[in-house]
Chain A
Amino acid sequence: MGMTMTQKILAAHADLDSVTAGQLINARLDLVHGNDITTPVAINEFEKAGFSEVFDNKKVSIVLDHFVPNKDIKSAQQSKQCRLFAGKQGVTHFYDVGTMGIEHALLPEQGVVGAGDCVIGADSHTCTYGALGAFSTGVGSTDMAAGMASGYAWFKVPSAIKVVLTGKLNPRVSGKDVILDLIGRIGVDGALYKSLEFVGEGVKELSMDDRFCICNMAIEAGAKNGIFPVDEKTIAYMEGRTERPYTVYEADADAEYEQVIEMNLSELVPTVAYPHLPENTHPAADGKNIKIDQIVIGSCTNGRMEDMEAAYEILKGKKIAPWVRGIIIPATMEVFKECIKRGYATAFIDSGCIISTPTCGPCLGGYMGILAEEERCVSTTNRNFVGRMGHVKSEVYLASPATAAASALTGYITDPRTIKEEN
């Protein structure tokens, strides 16, 4: 019986000729990753179990991004613990203020991950790297500790859902609308324990930034991983970046899928997930009576260059509604620098928005944009759970950068296709 793309990568990393869904395997890891929230817990477990050295200091990455630049004394202590550990272990992929970015935008950009890799990360959005044709999944801190110690992790080989993409996205419709629409169709546990394998003619029409965004939110459907085939765009992205040789895996023609979902990209519209679940999706056009207090454009889901470009095209030469707070957070220093170079930074400030250095802060209600009681935010982040961005009675509406920017201008949820571009 044939294997899915995910199964092929797992088989290769378990030194097996083939694997089947449900099989328990021990797989070799190409990268073990953590951030400033999850790594301290992993360090404690690692040291408590009596380990003194990581299995390979080039295959461990630690990115300080959640509460960095540190928001308070406690978070500073956690960062310090990561910094000391990285120094002691000689971790080569350690990113602190100055070089850090939001982990899942930063690691692909810096070439730390590539096609064919097997990656675990103590952050649920580690599934992002599937966009490069890697198997990549989120785990907890103890799994990170075990991975750092041994270079291996156990997995139950997942079955898969095949998502067949056709057509082409219309202007101002993006990868975010693809994944929100899919989650709206299958639900927040629609892919529980499974792989979401994206295939079909439509793949070539999606940019790498769209693919990162789509794989990033695979976890929001409960998936173990999301994955795209490797094509010319993937290879062009990896050229000159990836530091290790990459391997291209393809699903077998007779691979088995539990379910096949067809999506015509041409039919998708700007989509918004209302509180308090990412599956609660509606067309942006239906939200015009929902008044908002804040927008956030950024995060591991939507803080990349194309996201900034989409926001710029809508915001340039215009002013956001006076009652709206506009917060724009480029995900990495490279993206930040490019925003300055292209004049986006000036345009964002002139529109009434603020720009911050990279941080996960507002997405998880950490800092840099906490909501008060009964406030509403249109956010390009990935979760809209109760209390996610602040007060238990605040509301988060998930959307694309274009929809968030358009909503900032009017002060209400707005379909970005209704905004005319200034020249």
Chain B
Amino acid sequence: MEAKGTVFKYGDNVDTDVIIPARYLNTQDARELAMHAMEDIDADYVKNVKPGDIMVAGWNFGCGSSREHAPLVIKTSGAAVVIAKSFARIFYRNAINIGLPIMECEEAADAIAKGDTVSVNFDTGEIKDETTGQTFQAQPFPEFIQKMIKAGGLMNSIREKQ
């Protein structure tokens, strides 16, 4: 599986309150929620994001609340993957559970600039900045998690067991 798109770049500690402000959490409608994705730190994100685009950020992406609406709005907004230096633990679980690809790669997060065109290969973990020609290698997922992703997420994997 591959993705290629334009980069939206953010800093450290991007929290779930800016990914999707709680004032909108009176609904579960993913498309309605996605209209407000990132709006408190980047009001233009929703206007400019196209399917396949790529979010790049620093340390501790997705810190704060356990709201699963956070990875869901990123996915629904069209972003194909989030590349960060590290992820907050609940966000990490939630992203895998709902099927939003995430990749941990400090070097890529440092080197890639806003607006660059980047391609990623989810199977090999290779990240390529097409604008600069640089390539990076993301941390692979533990085997247990790879299996869960292949089974189609958490609910399908426990369904299989029962």
Contacts and interface: CB of A to CB of B under 8 A. Distances in A.
A24 B28 contact: no
A140 B93 contact: yes
A44 B64 CA distance: 23
B66 A123 contact: yes
Contact of B18 (A48, A78, A364, A387): A387
A118 interface: no
A133 B156 CA distance: 33
A142 interface: yes
Most buried by A among B41, B68, B144, B161: B68
A154 interface: yes
A365 B158 contact: no
A38 B23 CA distance: 14
Contacts of A246: none
Given A140-B90, A142-B98, A143-B154, A383 B64 contact: yes
A74 interface: yes
B88 A189 contact: yes
A37 B67 contact: yes
A23 to B, nearest CB: 10
Given A49-B159, A124-B64, A366-B22, A139 B93 contact: yes
Nearest to B145: A24
Nearest to A141: B68
Contact of A142 (B13, B18, B68, B159): B68
A188 B13 contact: yes
Contacts of A142: 68, 94, 97-98, 153-155
Interface string A117-144: 0000111101000000000001111110
Contact of B144 (A146, A154, A366): A154
A140 B67 contact: yes
Interface residues of B, number: 40
Contact of A74 (B26, B69, B144, B155): B26
Contacts of A388: 17, 22
A146 B154 contact: yes
A150 interface: yes
A145 B60 CA distance: 25
B106 interface: no
A377 B88 CA distance: 26
Contacts of B26: 67, 71-72, 74-75, 78
Given A122-B66, A192-B89, A385-B17, 10 more contacts: A37-B22, A38-B66, A40-B28, A74-B26, A143-B97, A143-B154, A146-B155, A150-B162, A222-B63, A388-B17
5 closest A-B pairs by beta carbon, nearest first, are A140-B94, A140-B68, A74-B26, A364-B22, A142-B97
12 contacts: A24-B142, A38-B67, A38-B68, A49-B156, A75-B26, A124-B65, A140-B90, A149-B158, A152-B158, A188-B13, A219-B90, A385-B64
Interface of B: 13, 15, 17-18, 21-23, 25-28, 40-41, 59-60, 63-69, 86, 88-90, 93-94, 97-98, 142, 144, 153-156, 158-159, 161-162
